[in-house]
A = this chain, B = another copy of it.
Amino acid sequence: MLKVFICGGSGYTGGELLRILSNHTGVKVIGATSEKSAGKSPAELFPNLKKYSNLIYEPLKPGKILNKAELFFMSLPHGKSQEAVDFFFKHGKKVIDLSADYRLRDVKIYEEWYKVPHNYQSTLKKAVYGLPELYRKKIARASLTANPGCYPTGAILGLYPAIKNKFIDYSSIIIDSKSGVSGAGRNPDIRFAYCEINEGFKAYAITTHRHTPEIEQELSLSAGIDIKVNFTPHLAPFDRGILTTIYAPLTRQMGTTEIIDLYKDIYTKEPFVIVHDEGKLPDVKSVRGTNLCEIATVVNKRTNTLVVVTAIDNLVKGASGQAVHNMNIMMGFDEKTALDTLAIFP
């Protein structure tokens, strides 16, 4: 049994890691950290984690837990993850970082968008961006995987086949995303109180969301040229899920089925990507609780524009499920282990 430790285990992504790993036949969660819930168990914090009554959160002391586990999931806020990641990595441990700290290759861009310095640049160079559909081979050899952000997961998977097949104009890509409220984390904040969110819908952080450079980095690397995107996140009244609607001009006349075929080719062997046939469109409700990314593509013939829609569960494919997927790849488990579940409907 692989021994794993979860650093930052009391938020929604930490709880989701515990939920998913409880189904994993090859893994044992040895411990979990939480500063404010130290001394308590996940069974006290999460109504669904009664199984974890024997696990007690402890404050994060990297030196103390280093030898207890072989792999560390890091579910800490950005800025606070850097140092511990570096410590575990340098001591030869496998690390999967769910924070943003090791996602951006260019330290300047990280510091510009996140407003904190990055003090571990040599380690940063060793990090692999943990989007299995793009970097499976590198992830398999990696010791440090930077788990993608929730919005970038849906945006990149939606655009990657179009970029690989070079049929869109990169100069005016629009990424319009709608997220459930769990994306804001489990913190008391009046802005995410029930009565403020329910029956509402709004955009936020227009032009300033920190996932923008992450999306741009990966699209640019795929395209081989520098891409800037218009990314607008929205807050929607449901618990889980991100629906992303993407627009990009086509560089030549193409039909919807032609593009669907190209998308299917790219993702044909992917266990967690579903490319819909013409006429079927993704819904966040269909992927809730799963590691799936559903994708539909439609051509607007009147404007020669590609429209792509993707749906993921922000806490699974957009966070903890993808982290477990990365672990499965890094440690040689079957990729679907603990992730082969059906959504609950309704």
Contacts and interface: CB of A to CB of B under 8 A. Distances in A.
Interface of A: 12, 15, 19, 22-23, 46-51, 172, 174, 176, 178, 180-182, 186-190, 192-204, 206-207, 228-230, 232, 234, 236-241, 243, 245, 247, 249, 274, 281-286, 288-290, 296, 298-303, 305, 307, 309, 311, 341-346
B190 A190 contact: no
A249 B228 CA distance: 13
A285 B199 contact: yes
25 contacts: A47-B285, A172-B249, A172-B305, A176-B245, A176-B247, A178-B178, A186-B195, A187-B190, A189-B193, A193-B193, A194-B198, A196-B346, A198-B198, A199-B285, A199-B288, A201-B283, A201-B285, A202-B282, A202-B311, A207-B298, A230-B300, A230-B305, A234-B243, A240-B346, A247-B247
User: Which residue, A195, A289, A303, A311, has most C-beta atoms of chain B within 10 A?
Assistant: A195
A232 B307 contact: yes
A170 to B, nearest CB: 11
Count of identical protomers in the assembly: 4
Contacts of A301: 207
B285 A345 contact: no
Nearest to A187: B190
A200 B199 CA distance: 13
A300 B311 CA distance: 25
Contacts of A47: 283, 285-286, 343, 345
Contacts of A311: 202
Given A206-B298, A281-B206, A344-B48, A200 B238 contact: yes
A79 to B, nearest CB: 22
Nearest to A284: B201
Contact of A206 (B51, B202, B307, B343): B307
A145 to B, nearest CB: 24
A176 B231 CA distance: 12
Contacts of A240: 199, 344, 346
Given A200-B284, A341-B341, 12 more contacts: A19-B345, A47-B343, A47-B345, A48-B344, A176-B245, A181-B194, A198-B238, A199-B238, A201-B238, A201-B241, A206-B307, A237-B237
A204 B197 CA distance: 22
Contacts of A207: 298-302, 307
